[in-house]
Amino acid sequence: MKIKSIVSEQGNTLLVTIGVVAGLLVLLGTSVDYSRQISREAQRSRKSALAMEIADGHLEMLFSNWRNIYRNTWTASSSGSGGTDYSVLGTNYFFTTTWNPGPAPTPMASVSPSVTPPPIATPAPSIFPTETGYTLDQYRIQAVDPMVSLDADGLAQKETSFGSGTFTPLSPASAPPAAYGPNKWQYSYYYLASVDVTVPTSTGNVTAKVRRVFEKKFDNPWTFAFLFMDDLEFNPTTAFTVNGPVHTNGSLYIGTSNFTTTSTVSYSSEYVNGYSAADTFHTSTAAPPNFAKSDPALALSDMPPSQLSPYLPFGWNLKLANADGSANNDSYHELIEQAAGTPDPLSEIRLYNQACYRILIDSSNNITITKKDGSNVTGGTYNTITAAITTNQAIMDQREVSPSGGSAYVRLATLDVSQIRSAAEAGNLPGWNGVLYIADTSTHNTNITSKIGGTGTTVTTTERAIRLINGYRLPQVSANTNNIEGMTLVSANPIYIKGNYNTSTGSADSVASNTAVYPSTAGTYTTPTGSGYTRKLAAVIGDSINVLSPAWSDFNSTLSISNRTASNVTINAALVGGIVPSSGGNYSGGGENFIRLLEDWKQNTFCYYGSIVELFVSKQGTGPWTGAGNNYKAPWIAKYYWDPRFADNTLTTWQSGPPGNMQIAAYLQQQRWYQVY
């Protein structure tokens, strides 16, 4: 019995042991299954993330190609619309190597250069080495309406009429409908980029369906108080307030608390609270500037500078525009030049080609005038225009540098704006569209003789420029059923504006006759015009922009700064020109010195209303800013105002800016959205 009992106990123990082991094996199996499940789920999560990364890479490829195709195709209204673009492209301009909905794109007759873009290539799988076995089910760009209306197959639709609620297919050959901003010149076109990426896993496939919206956004440069294509610096030595938006396509450098803005500030490269590495002029410790507040009650600004996509004139890309190796290779300076050869890929956007009259002055002071269609102007119209021009005058510009190293003389052709205005308003300038081009075509940096003031000492000059006088009042002309307001004056040379501009109905450009429109010296001046005058939409566009006060004397230009005392002046116009960048120990002068001065302003007021646009590095006005010595002395009061009339959507005029077309475009991509299966 004892032996039997022992055997029984051992058997029970074995059974218990077997049971425990079996239980452990069950638990182990469950654990293994659970681990495998977790592993599979983790793998699918990793593969899903990988699929989205691959899709993002494909979308970046689509965006770069979409943007480059658009940057190399443009056209513009040459009648002065100021904001309408006609190079809007349909879906069929963005075929890919895997998606061709037809019809085949045909070159647009009005687009220069007139080209058919090739299909957008598919990225090589080797670009994504962690997973080369993926497959694509979609890889395409299609034009869409602003609401991204799609049918069940993901193809673009458009509403038959606004608010109808019924839709029809949007043809691949059709331009998409526009979405408009708060002002009539602000509008965008939208494109949907799609890619479906499938990645294999150990238990099947995962697919990421990823989408982005691409936006081509149009605006005009007058939206900004300051718009720079190059680096923008602000280092004013006294209080300097900007009341409108500021943007640079380059880097933004602000090193002083003297700078204040009451609107947005943006940049495309980087923002530095300090000085550019190219600026060795400033050595003091940088101080924080004063940026705007969304609520004045806030103790600190909540609107610091933000990074935005570049705003390009006409959406034009510099490198692509000059890729043909043509002589038209002066970047945005080309906008104010004549074409150097044919065919001219920039013909539709050159301001020379937009002008109703083109006035060219040769080295012997002979004047040739042509119309917009290229025909010569003769007879009474020729006499009317040439009567407003005085050639072969000279001044000394204390900023410019002569070949011998001293200050340079500048040969001027002076245009009396009042005579052009009178002739235009009287109907004596047939075909008037508000854009006038004038340039001294004698070779820059080549010696030529001229006389101080046109009657004084004969001097030798290497510099050329255009001077505007009596611009106190600008024309308003009813022509071709369009009410053409104001005037845009363009030159490839530096431009000097003498006296008040676009300020009053005065009869002469003198100190005495314009006293009523001078800015207040109390520092609260808020109206830039005299009684009874409404400032016109105006622009002055040149290689560089200089302002001479009504007190300026050509004969005193060679004397010391004590003999060049300024009088108060007001300028009401958009100003477009170039800068001399910081380098070699020199400061560019910054945005605060974009307008170049040559007088002692320390007891006087300079008031500016408009929009400042920097397009290029100056080709002719290349003297560096010095800020001291015999060049100039800064104004006692300098008031810079962005002109809100440039954003007035209630204007009855057909224009959306100064005469002529000068629009900008930005290429944006909105945040992706995706679905994973």
Residue-wise pLDDT tens digits, 510-562 = 444 444 445 544 444 567 888 788 899 999 999 999 999 999 999 999 999 99
Q: How far apart are CA 2 and CA 431, in angstroms?
A: 131
Question: Residue 342: what pLDDT?
Answer: 77
By C-alpha distance, which of 138, 103, 132, 118 is closest to 209? 138
**Is the bond preceding residue 113 a cis peptide, omega within 30 degrees?**
yes
The residue with greater pLDDT, 215 or 162, is 215
**Summary mean pLDDT of the chain:** 87
Q: How far apart are CA 541 and CA 576, in angstroms?
A: 5
Whether pLDDT at 115 is above 80: no
**Rg from Cα positions in the chain:** 33
What value does the mean pLDDT take over residues 366-376? 97
Asked if residue 151 lies in contact with residue 104, where contact means CB atoms within 8 angstroms, the answer is no
Three-class SS of residue 474?
coil
**What is the CB neighbour count within 10 angstroms for residue 334?**
26
Whether pLDDT at 203 is above 50: yes
Question: Residue 639: what pLDDT?
Answer: 84
Question: Residue 8: what pLDDT?
Answer: 58
Query: pLDDT, tens digit, for every residue of 248-296?
Result: 999 999 999 999 999 999 999 999 999 999 999 999 999 999 999 999 8
Whether pLDDT at 106 is above 70: yes
What ranges make up the beta strands (E) of 21-134?
none
Residue 645 gets which letter from DSSP? G
Query: pLDDT, tens digit, for every residue of 5-31?
Result: 544 555 566 565 666 666 666 555 555
Question: Residue 279: what pLDDT?
Answer: 95
Whether pLDDT at 63 is above 60: yes
Query: pLDDT, tens digit, for every residue of 562-614?
Result: 999 999 889 999 999 999 999 988 999 999 999 999 999 998 888 899 999 99
- How many angstroms separate the Cα of 103 from the Cα of each of 98, 160, 248, 508, 624? 15, 22, 40, 62, 55
Q: Quick one: tokens of 29?
A: 């199996």
Whether pLDDT at 504 is above 80: yes
- Among 102-116, 304-318, 360-374, top mean pLDDT goes to 360-374
- How many angstroms separate the Cα of 423 from the Cα of each of 50, 386, 660? 69, 12, 19
What value does the mean pLDDT take over residues 130-137? 90
Q: Give the whole-number percent of the chain exceeding pLDDT 90.
A: 64
By C-alpha distance, which of 197, 226, 217, 31 is closest to 128? 197
Whether pLDDT at 104 is above 90: no
Lowest mean pLDDT among 34-43, 352-361, 386-395, 631-640: 34-43
Three-class SS of residue 649?
coil
Give the bridge partners for 535, in sequence order. Answer: none
Query: pLDDT, tens digit, for every residue of 167-193?
Result: 999 999 998 999 988 877 788 999 999
Question: Residue 107: what pLDDT?
Answer: 75
Question: Residue 344: what pLDDT?
Answer: 78
Query: pLDDT, tens digit, for every residue of 604-642?
Result: 888 899 999 999 999 999 999 988 778 999 988 788 899
Task: Report the sign of the C-alpha dihedral through residues 542, 548, 554, 556, in that order.
Answer: negative
Query: pLDDT, tens digit, for every residue of 326-358?
Result: 677 888 999 999 998 777 777 878 999 999 999
The residue with greater pLDDT, 453 or 676, is 453
What value does the mean pLDDT take over residues 34-62? 81
3-state percent helix, strand, coil for the chain, nearest multiple of 5 = 20, 30, 50
pLDDT band at 105 (very low <50, low <70, confident <90, very high): confident
Where on the phi/psi map is residue 469: left (φ > 0), alpha (ψ -120 to 50), or beta? beta
Question: Residue 78: what pLDDT?
Answer: 43
Question: Residue 96: what pLDDT?
Answer: 96
By C-alpha distance, which of 564, 571, 567, 442 is closest to 496? 571
Asked if residue 57 lies in contact with residue 127, where contact means CB atoms within 8 angstroms, the answer is yes
The residue with greater pLDDT, 459 or 108, is 459
Q: How far apart are CA 396 and CA 410, in angstroms?
A: 6
pLDDT band at 321 (very low <50, low <70, confident <90, very high): low
What value does the mean pLDDT take over residues 370-384? 97
Q: How far apart are CA 278 and CA 664, in angstroms?
A: 28
Asked if residue 321 lies in contact with residue 72, where contact means CB atoms within 8 angstroms, the answer is yes
Question: Residue 672: what pLDDT?
Answer: 82
Q: How far apart are CA 250 and CA 276, in angstroms?
A: 12
SS3 sequence, 331-375? HHHHHHCCCCCCCCCCCCCCHHHHCCEEEEECCCCCEEEEECCCC
Q: How far apart are CA 572 and CA 241, in angstroms?
A: 17
Whether pLDDT at 384 is above 70: yes
Question: Residue 80: what pLDDT?
Answer: 41
**What is the CB neighbour count within 10 angstroms for residue 571?**
23
Residue 74 gets which letter from DSSP? B
pLDDT band at 420 (very low <50, low <70, confident <90, very high): very high
Asked if residue 305 lies in contact with residue 265, where contact means CB atoms within 8 angstroms, the answer is yes
Task: Return the H-helix or E-strand segment holding 572.
Answer: strand 569-572
Question: Residue 208: what pLDDT?
Answer: 93
CA angle 468, 472, 475 (to 5 degrees): 90
